[in-house]
Chain A
Amino acid sequence: MNRSDFPMLQNDLIYFDNGATTLKPQTVIDEMVDYYSNYSANAHRGDYDVSLKVDKMYENVRDKVQKLINCAKREEVVFTKGATESLNMIVFGYMKYILKENDEVLITKAEHASNVLPWLQLAKEIGIKIKYIPLDEQHELTLSSLQKSITDKTKVISLAHITNVVGDVRPLEEIGKICKAKKILFVVDGAQSVAHIPIDVQKYNVAFLAFSAHKMLGPTGVGVLYGRYDLLNIMHPLQYGGGMNNLFEIDGTVEYKNIPTRLEAGTPPIAEVIGLGKAIDYLLDIGIDNIHKYEVQLKEYAINKLEQIPNIKIYNKHSQSGIIAFNIDGVFSQDTAVYLNHYHICVRAGNHCAKILKDEFKINNTCRISFYLYNTKAEIDTLVKVLEQSENIFKIVL
């Protein structure tokens, strides 16, 4: 990994908002430009050479995703718009037809809106019950709390592998074992994790996994839905149209294609899928485990320094990822973010789409720093220096 691989880093900025989206290496950009410049045809259609090349390049990415998450079959990988769409497909294309009134789904208050709102909507539609597993005093999920929350009505546990504000890493292997023993479907939101910590969907007994390309060095507009073959095979498409059918007649006879194509109606985001493939190459070349170790190192380094600043409150010192949620005493988080922006430091302020986490934090808004593989200790030093001088904050923001 070289910082020079990332054109955005040539600009004068310190990018600490990787939880929102990551920067893209030149190889990903070039790969997409190559598609548009040299073989820009549709997929799954033509009998001419460039179209065949599109098919090959597009389908090739399924194999790369399979390798990344270690699923059993390449057909278990569906390309979607992103993690949000993937989660909606899981809830409204599968769970809606499987779950019954009063069946229980376990989530937590630290989940992203995408792993809360579809469930709340399904509860309105078919009367399932959404239960929140209590978090510990660090706002993290513990296995004992999870086990205590399971009843004989629990049919689904749906959790982020890494949460987007607290940044705690959930013990997927142990949760997967519990789910297997109790015949519970285990849904994993991998948006903050797939490019940050290794995942093995078979080993962890994951039924469904959702993630987005743009949070893993890839382009916007594409993501992945993984589903175990037997489950995915009975998922109802949420979209019908070209590309997903074998035949249809005026009398209403319709025959759909097999998965995954059945679940990818319309022309897919071809350039983006191919770009995602290049992003996976980049990540696997470095090794996801190495990325995780480096992020945890950066966080420890930052926490040690930030703790020395008296007016900084940190909400998640101990979680083992690259995410830090903090506030300056008496300063609204958005003012802190605007202040840091003055020094070209990009952080996110707000509730980070985890709107029910406020019940846990007892505060509505935080500033979030989220590191990635191209961040450096020197950048953290700059951040610390700026935060040390924060008594000047209103001279800057007003």
Chain B
Amino acid sequence: MDPITRRELMLEHYQNPVHKGLLNDKEYIKVNTHNESCIDNLEIAVKIEDGIIKDIRFDGEACAISTSATSIMIETLLGKSIDKVKEIVQNYENMINEENYDEEILGQLNVYNETYLQPNRKKCALLPFDALKQILKQIEKEK
């Protein structure tokens, strides 16, 4: 992906993120996430029905990378099964951490394939995925 397209896509999702604003609905499982610099503050809420991601919403304040990654993550994961989501999360983490990954499965999330060049931003790109993993863990415990 060329740098201009990559930047434009991130910027679009930073300035106009999808699914921003939480709903007052008890069916959503919610977590709050702070990265280690204690600066980003995102709340992520997921609604799952029959093992399928029905909806993801978020709110809060974060940097351009965290916010855009949240928005693109939401678009990518909607309607996917939990097993598929786990596969995507694993491949995304591998990409950020410079390990082998399946480019195809990540779709638009490939815009973060050069984030590793700025190691201090890895945490930002992983932030929404860390939150999502917490939610998935919570669901497994409840089973």
A333-B39 contact given A338-B120, A395-B7, A398-B11, CB 8 Å threshold: yes
Asked if residues A332 and B7 are in contact (CB atoms below 8 Å), the reply is no
B135 within 8 A of A: no
> Using an 8 Å CB-CB cutoff, how does the interface string of B1-13 with A read, 1 for contact, 0 for none?
0000011001100
Interface size, A (range): 10 to 19
B39 touches which of A334, A394, A397, A398 (Cβ 8 Å): A334
Q: By the criterion CB–CB under 8 Å, are A350 and B64 in contact?
A: no
Complex Cα spacing A75 to B41, Å: 45
Whether B139 is near chain A, meaning CB under 8 Å from some CB there, is no
**Which residues of B in the span 101-121 have a Cβ within 8 Å of any Cβ on A?**
118, 120-121
Check if A351 is an interface residue, CB within 8 A of chain B.
yes
Q: How far is the CB of A398 from chain B (nearest CB, A)?
A: 5
A351 x B39 contact (CB < 8 A): yes
- CB-based nearest A residue for B6: A398
A291 interface contact, C-beta 8 A: no
Task: Give the distance in Å from the alpha carbon of A210 to the alpha carbon of B133 in the complex.
Answer: 41
In chain A, what residue has the closest Cβ to B61? A364
Q: Which residues of B contact A350 (CB under 8 A)?
A: 37-39
Cα A364 to Cα B68 in complex, Å, equals 19
Q: Which chain A residues border B62 with CB–CB below 8 Å?
A: 332
Instruction: Say yes or no: is B63 at the interface (Cβ < 8 Å to chain A).
Output: yes
What per-residue 1/0 map shows which CB atoms of A343-361 lie under 8 Å from chain B?
0000001110000000000
Chain A residues within 8 Å of B38, by CB: 350-351
Q: How far is the CA of A395 from the CA of B64 in the complex (A)?
A: 12
B61 touches A335 (CB 8 A): no
CB-CB under 8 A for A394 and B11, given A334-B40, A350-B37, A351-B39: yes
Q: Which residue from chain A places its CB closest to the CB of B35 in the assembled complex?
A: A334
| Among all A-B residue pairs, the 3 with the closest Cβ atoms | A350-B39, A334-B63, A398-B7
Residues of B in contact with A (beta carbons under 8 Å apart):
6-7, 10-11, 14, 37-41, 61-65, 67-68, 118, 120-121, 124
